[in-house]
Amino acid sequence: MLVELLRQGATQNGGFFNTSYGFGHDQVFGLLMCYADYRWDKCVRCLNAAVSWVGAGCPYSRSASVNYDRCLIRYSNQPFFGAADQVDLAAWVVRSFNYTFDAANAARMSEARWALVGNLTEQAAVSPLRFAYNSSSYMDSKSNSLEMCALAQCRWDLVHDECTTCLGYLRNTLVRNIPNDTAGYCLGYSCYIRYNITGPMEIIAPPSSPPLPPAGY
């Protein structure tokens, strides 16, 4: 019942919905969110697939966390809204893009990348949608102008400080694991960072108006 409520709510609320179901010892808290770098139709397909998978794969579980490349579903008998997950904060770091390679001038690329990600972190933390996307230019060692695109996204229920902390953790994880790659992402259960120098991303356009900012900011 809860996962179906989440699917319906997220579909009607621009790709995010959190709620609780039941009372007392039988209460369960759930959340479903789309990631922003896919079209809306792909988001909806992911929402439907996530609900179907959880229903079939975890029919009697009181908690589950499932991360797809397009959406996230979480539910638990313990409340978790408003706080970043400090245990499984980073699900994985990926450098498997077909176009990923080591930068010709890693120092210049990294300077542009982390400056952009830092600005997006600040913007995402104060955005009602907890999301920011932008690009910036930099020169490589051969004086070629390259465009770095990046996004930063948190769950909508996170307050400002929790979003900032989560994105900072993912940034540091990327620095350690893929310091010279021209594209990469880090996907967590509470936030998400992606960057590349191959062109604009396909950013989702939610069909509904943004919600009010979460309480606490």
Domains and CATH numbers, the chain: 2-76 (3.30.430.20), 90-196 (3.30.430.20)
Sign of CA dihedral 166, 9, 18, 86: negative
Query: Average pLDDT for consecutive 10-residue bins of the chain (217 residues)?
Result: 68 75 77 82 79 65 73 78 63 48 75 92 92 86 80 92 92 85 85 86 62 39
* pLDDT value, residue 30: 83
For 166, other C-beta atoms within 10 Å of its C-beta total 31
Report d(CA 115, CA 94) in Å as an integer: 21
* pLDDT value, residue 205: 60
* pLDDT value, residue 212: 42
Eight-class DSSP state of 111: H
* pLDDT value, residue 59: 60
> Which residue, 46, 64, 75, 38, is CA-closest to 192?
38
Q: How far is CA 52 from CA 62, 73, 120, in A?
A: 16, 11, 33
* pLDDT value, residue 60: 58
**What pTM value is reported for the model?**
0.78
